[in-house]
Structure 1
């Protein structure tokens, strides 16, 4: 008997391979899904079933691709809007045998209408569930977001409350296997730990301490969540079935001349923020490699072409993995020669950094200047610098039009990383009078205790 978690870095996506008696099932596979086949074969297992907990919004499902590779059947929940074309619909109470194991379907709407949880039973000990694959209904330390149906906000929050009661009814002994861990955009309060039980969550999960249904609904409808534009692309692909990823998960190397001649829609500098600020190619925007999963979907549109500018080949390979998992495959190539290019006289741009003393001076004296806070609204509501303006970094993809290019802007966030993304985006849109508050709110609080 085998149960293995496969984690997708960046997206904090968790999928699972569970097997017994020569058979295996995969729960919520990612798009680059050869890993499941390799692990199953190594364990002498044949993948016969693929279970999806819901229509994902933050990544492309690998279910139709894995089904084509293995001949396995894909199972998905009922969707009143549009059926998932590559899957068979399952409903509450349906059961599936995987060797000695049994997987029982629970309809758990709320996060999405089609959401399912899958209770895992060992038929040798059938009285209580061994575990439950909770998808985006229940996380370690949090519960799923309910903002995808804004016209039905209170209804779907109530549905999630009811669904959580069904999961809790499986018993405190049941291990929980969620679809995401800390860092995912699908929840804001997840624990760093990726293991728990129903009983532990019942006692310690703050959201499960809200025992009144109406109070739970009030809480969920008051939450603030952001929906990047790429969510709509993910939703469509996960209804229709996305294509297999590129065979070679690494962009081809470009010379500097090829980079200049390629006419890409975006030049994306994936180096560290300080490297970008110190010197970058004109017209490039900053999206550090570890921040690509969270922010690429705000600034890149479906089908747009990309060139990646990196410090080394490893960064390029990692960036390509992140992008492929959210269906941004149109990568013309990668370039790793910024420093040598500068040494040969290639024109570079900088993103100047300023410190707290300069920010204070400007707040008191500067004309035609704005301190632009690009943190999320919850951070802003907790602590803000008086006199600053707020636009969330992702919303700059459209709201940059509202800004005056003749005005001087200093970008700030919590530390300076998101501020660098914002500064790079504005610079790529033609803004010339911008700089970054190094240390941002962290530095401000350190000097204003």
Structure 2
């Protein structure tokens, strides 16, 4: 028997290859899905089934692509918003046999209406489930978000509560295999580990400690979540079926002149935030490779032609991988060599960094032409904020920049300075010139004023 986790960096997406008796199933494959076929063949397994836990919002499903490669049968839950054209419908109690393993379908709506979990039973040891693929219903330390049906908030929160009771009923011995780990946009309280059991979650997961269904529902209704515009694209692709990812996930390397001629709608600098602030090409925005999955969908549209700027070719390749996994394929190419560009007289810009003392002085002086702009999320803001600051979540700057005054001086802050650099880079690319970044941001402020 084999059960292997395949993690997708950036998205914190967890997919699985499970096999026995010469057969295998893949759970929630990503778009660049050759990895599953390679691992199955290396283990002498034939992929016969592809199991989807739900219609993913945050990444492109590889199910139709992997099915075309292997002939495997794709299973998806009932009640999708519209037909999932590449999948058969699985319902509560259905089973899939993979060698000695029997995988049982459990309908677990709440996160989405079509959500399924898959309990793993070993027929040679029939006393209870060995494990369960929980999708986005149950995470390690958290549970799924329930904000995708705003007109049915109370109903879907209650559905998730009921689904969690089903999962808890599998027994404390069952190992939990979730679809995401810490850092995913699908939850905010996930533990920094990717393994657990039903018993451990029952005793330790804060979201499973409510004394009643009504209290759970009230908590879920009050949660704050953000939905990037690209979620709508993922919904479409994951019901209609996406095309395969580009065969070579490495962009064409461009000279500076070629980059200019490419007429890109978005020039994306994927270097470290401090490198971007120290010097970047005019008109570019900042999206470090590790932040692409979380924030590209706020600032880049499906129709946008993208040019990349990186420190080296490996960074270009990593950026293209992240973009392809969320459906952004229109990449004109990438440029490496910001320092030579500067030496050659290219239009370069910088964004100053300021420290706590400067921010405190400006607040005390109450400078009329200056604003401290906090781009953290609502929960972070609620847990502590700097008096006199203005709040606008970094993602909401995609349109919210239009309500800001480009003649005004803004200092961007977040928890550490990373998201503040993304925010500043976006504003710079929109023509704002009077900006700086609070280095250390709320972390530095708390240490100085704790």
TM-score normalized with structure 1 length: 0.99
Question: Match of 2:383?
Answer: 382
SS at match of 1:220: helix
| Alignment of 1:432 onto 2:437 | no
The Cα offsets for residues 393-436 of structure 1, whole Å up to 9 and x where unpaired, read as 00000010100111111111111111111111001101111111
Whether 1:330 and 2:347 are equivalent positions in the alignment is no
* Structure 1 residue 211: Cα displacement: 3.1
Q: Which residue matches 1:105?
A: 105
What do the CA deviations read for 1:241-277 (whole angstroms, capped 9, x no partner)? 0100001100000001011111100000000011000
Residue in structure 1 matched with residue 51 of structure 2 by the alignment:
51
**In 2, Cα distance between equivalents of 1:154 and 1:395:** 26
Is 1:443 the counterpart of 2:444? The answer is yes
Q: How does 1:179-190 map to 2 (within 5 A)?
A: 179-190=179-190
Partner of 1:393: 394
Q: How does 1:281-430 map to 2 (within 5 A)?
A: 281-365=281-365, 366-430=367-431
Alpha-carbon displacement from aligned partner over 1:136-171 (angstroms, at most 9, x marks no partner)? 000011100000001000000000000000011111
Per-residue displacement from partner, 1:293-326 (whole Å, max 9, x unpaired)?
A: 1000000011211011000111111111100000
Deviations 1:195-223 (A, max 9, x none): 11101111111111113000000011110
C-alpha separation in 2, matches of 1:438 and 1:180: 30
| Alpha-carbon distance in 1 for matches of 2:81, 2:55 | 12
How big is the shift at 1:443? 1.2
Q: What is residue 136 of structure 2 aligned with on the other side?
A: 136
Distance across 2 between alignment mates of 1:178 and 1:253: 37
The within-5 A match list for 1:60-71 is 60-71=60-71
The match for 2:191 is 191
Per the alignment, residue 40 of structure 2 pairs with 40
| Counterpart-to-counterpart distance in 1, 2:287 and 2:395 | 12
Structure 1 residue matching 2:38: 3-state secondary structure? helix
Q: Does residue 172 of structure 1 match 2:189?
A: no
1: CA distance, partners of 2:447 / 2:187: 28
Match of 2:254 in 1: 254
d(CA) in 1 for partners of 2:345, 2:299: 30
Q: Distance in 2 between matches of 1:385 and 1:164?
A: 38
Counterpart residue number, 2:30: 30
Q: TM-score, normalised by structure 2?
A: 0.99
- The offset of 1:346, in angstroms, is 1.9
Shift of 1:127: 2.4
- Cα displacement (A) at 1:80: 4.8
In structure 1, what is the Cα distance between the partners aligned to 2:189 and 2:439? 27
Cross-structure match for 2:200: 200
CA distance in 2, matches of 1:156, 1:221: 10
Write the distance in 2 (CA, Å) between the matches of 1:169 and 1:134.
13
For residues 90-115 of structure 1, what are the alpha-carbon distances to aligned partners after superposition, in whole Å with 9 as ceiling and x for unaligned?
10000110111100000000000000
CA-based RMSD of the aligned residues comes to 0.7
Following superposition, the deviation at residue 345 of structure 1 comes to: 2.3
Aligned to 2:120: 120
